[in-house]
Structure formats: structure tokens, C-alpha cells
Structure 1
């Protein structure tokens, strides 16, 4: 997939071949987004267009109302990887700059869709807004398309479990620790990725050496607790018992962190990038009265992981 990280990085001849373009945040690339991408690919094949996504590095709320901006489900890099895996041909992912914020709906259509992306077909959701202050809606976009030479198509929602699939709904599930339900709406497991850094080595002393992820990991971690999942590192996949949170038994005031015990792994992972998939929540975080009680629970956690998780996951 070709990707461009700014308008200035976009060559004048980047889109000599006309495009079918979808516009959105695509946070998490959930089932609803995947339906849009499938339609994008279908139109590209039918009309001999290049499939293209226009999106933002961060949620526009981060620039407009930072206090109201929710945490991202996926990092920009994760989104680009997911879009590429879905078969999108090109992505323009840009910062929501002041210049972009000031574009009127007409200017956005003319400068971004027509001049920048050579768009002939646009896919958006029913609640799509664009232009300064969100002044433009799908009706205006359709009118501009008729004038400027592109077709506008509104893609319907996907419903699962009696509700609309949305990034907001998935985010709430993740924050609540319901990774199993979030997986159903994402179409894949909740995933974070980060570099392994040195920790207190307490797990190693107890016989359960863990990989501690750096605080600035990619993705959205679930609520504090212990989870069954998978860890992918150095080209291999391992069952994993994953702890999210502080250490209430030893250091109850310690900040939250992600610690991953890779079953059947022996080696050194410091400095390596680990991708962690959360499949099922086992329990909440608990302060134990003594080491023996803690060890008994850790052995039980690992046994549950072996039972729940197969490498086929």
C-alpha cells in the first residue's frame, strides 16, 4: 500500500489514476469500517479506480477539544497496517492542522478530493461532516460531487448484538475489560504493541519472568486485570498470561503497566517489540496476603491460559 503522511508529501502526479475514496477516522478498523473497505474494493474493481482512504493521524477532537478527545483504539501505524492488510491501495493520513480546519466544505471538496486525490467516487457514513465547523453534510457533499464530477455513496451501519458497531462502543468495552465482546465487534482481538523494558524483576524471582512493555505502547489496553491472550515476538507466537495494572501485593501505589508472561518461552526479550492480543479476562487485580497465595493464583492463571488459548487463536 502506498501511504502519504501529509499534503506536502503528496506528489502532484500521485493519483494520475482516478480514485474511489473513503473518508473517516477508521479507529480500530472494526466490522463497520471493514464493510466500507469491502465496498471500496468492489467499486475500484468495477470502475477501474484506485482504492484510497483519507484519514487523520489523530482524532480531530485532539486539536479542537483536547479534553473531550477519547483514547485511540489503534495507533496511526497500526491503522496503516490494518488498511494495507485489508487491501487498500493508497492512504493519505494527515494531521488535522489549522489550515485544514479552516477549509470550507467547497474548498475541501475541490482541494482535497478533486485536486489532491483525483476522486471520482466517495464513500462516507450517514453522519459524515466536513469543512470548517462541520458545516458540510452528505447532502452538500452530493451536490458538490454533481458539480465537481464525483459520485457520493453512503454506506450503512453494521449491527452486532442489537447495536451499531462503532469505535465508541468498542472503546467502552475495552475500558470495561470486556475484550471478548470487543473482539466480536473488531473482528479480531484487542491488541497493543510496545518495546520490552526492564522492570523490578519480581516475576522472575517468583518463577514467572514477565516482559514489561514500555509505558508509551501502541493501542488501547483494557481495564486493570489479568487476561489470557497471545504474544507475538521474534516471528513466533506464544500463549500469554497478561497483567494490566499496578502491583497491589508489593507496590499498591505503583503506576499501571502491562506485564506479559509468555508460556514456554525461554530467553531475553529486552529491547524487542512485542504484540499482545487480549482474548479473555480472567480476573481483576487483587492484593494477596502472602507470597504463597499469590503463587497459587499465578499457577491457576497460567493453567487457565493453557486451557483457553490455543495457538490456532
Structure 2
């Protein structure tokens, strides 16, 4: 074997005992509104000896039954400990002791071009976890998923197939550097992973509180777009239009109105909803923010206190 082979094999052997297969059942409605069970599969890896496991939120969200298969063949029922749909992370728990825990990379000194090894259970195939190798193709990527906007991701060309979601991304030393989180359908060789430091921070909060406490302005908004500008003769081509304000909320009491166009917050230009999310992520619940709106043709300045964002983690029939 070459030194490259030995390096990959050594890295995989250190981590693979801690990789798990996750199978779950969701209740789905068909075209006739009849509810029926639909099985699914995903991956995860062990966080501590007593059965805490990290995976993706979309792997277990809405599940009625979750089972975890360990690398040694044992199968356990699992319960959801906490979910964060915004960052697509979840912690689940099985009743087991003395489980193997992989080493987590301690620093975030990632480099484009360094080795990246993805481990998981693609398509739920029998025979244990699958290993694919590649490199980190890019850092600090942002993607729009079906439910959220994610930023700060690693991009890798290591093959990440359906079922790999939630599995670890590993460096050449056998340390977990990320959690495989998303693939772009029909793309060639493009996968994404959440850096492990950010993932572990969220996991710690999920373990303690069961959710992530994030700030929110109690309103709904959409991006200004050319059709809105032309139809309503808007005074700006950038910003976000307020479409709803929660009655009795801090936003409501602050005087924010439907059809206001947010263009600036705390001195930062808000060109779209992504900009708004980025600014909000720098704040905490209870912070006071200053906002500038177009109200008609006039600019209005308002201050409001950020509230706790509503939880999106409740399992539901889809």
C-alpha cells in the first residue's frame, strides 16, 4: 500500500466505530389525504459515551419512530433531544453506555485543498458505513435550502449521497472537521458540511435547552423585486417589504407597519432577507436595533427590541 492509502485507512479506522445509521418513519399524506408511514435513512456520529448522537435535523424532523444501528450491529430506539432547523442539526439519544467517541478538530484552521473524508450510510445500504475521499473545495459557502439560508459551510468534492446526511467529514488525522449536511440535486461533485466547531456549539445548546434561542423581529418580509417595484411604484429596488406584523409584539409596538420597506439596520444596508438574517445573527434576544424604512416616499427611523424566534422544530405530519 502507498502512504496515501495508509493515511486514509488510518483516519477511517479511528472514526468509523462512532458512525451510526439512522432509520426513521414519518407519517405522510398522499393525494387523497390519507396518512401512511414512509421510511427514511440517514447517518450520524456519537457525541459522548452515554448515547448522544449528532445528525442533521432533516434526517429526523417529523419522525414517528427512530432507530439507530451502531457499527457493531446493535440497534437502539432513539429520542430527539433537540433540533435546530435553521442550521440543519439535531441531537438524538439512545440508551447505551461506553460508546466510542471520535476526536473533534480543535481549531478552525481549514485550508482549501486539504483532504476531506466523508463517512456515512448512503441509500441505507447494508454492510456498514461507506467511505469517500476528496478535498475541501471551498470555505464559507452560503446555500439556500428548502427551509432556510445556511452560511459558513465547507464545500467538498467527496461524494455525499442520500443517506450520508449527518455523517462526519474527517481530516487525514482522523479528526472530525464537519458534519455532512446537504447536496445539490443534479450537481456534479458538490457537497457541503457544517464546520465542527460551529456544530458543537449548537449541539451543546440543544443538549442543554432542546432548542436554539435566536433573535427575531416579529414580522414577515420578502425581498424587493422588479415586479413589486413596477407594480407598486416602489421608491427603491433593494430592501425587504414587510408583509405581516405579529399583533401585540415588540415590532407592532415599535410602529412597524405592513408595506414598510426595510433598507438599513444598525447602519448596515439591507438589500434582501439574507442581509437581514446576517445582521440578526450578530445580536441576542433583548437587544435594541435601529431600523430605517421607506414608508411611501418618506424614510422612517424606528427602534425595536429583538424577541425570541419561534421554534420550528415541532414534528408534524407532512
TM-score range, shorter chain: under 0.3
Higher strand share: 2
TM-score by length of 2: 0.26
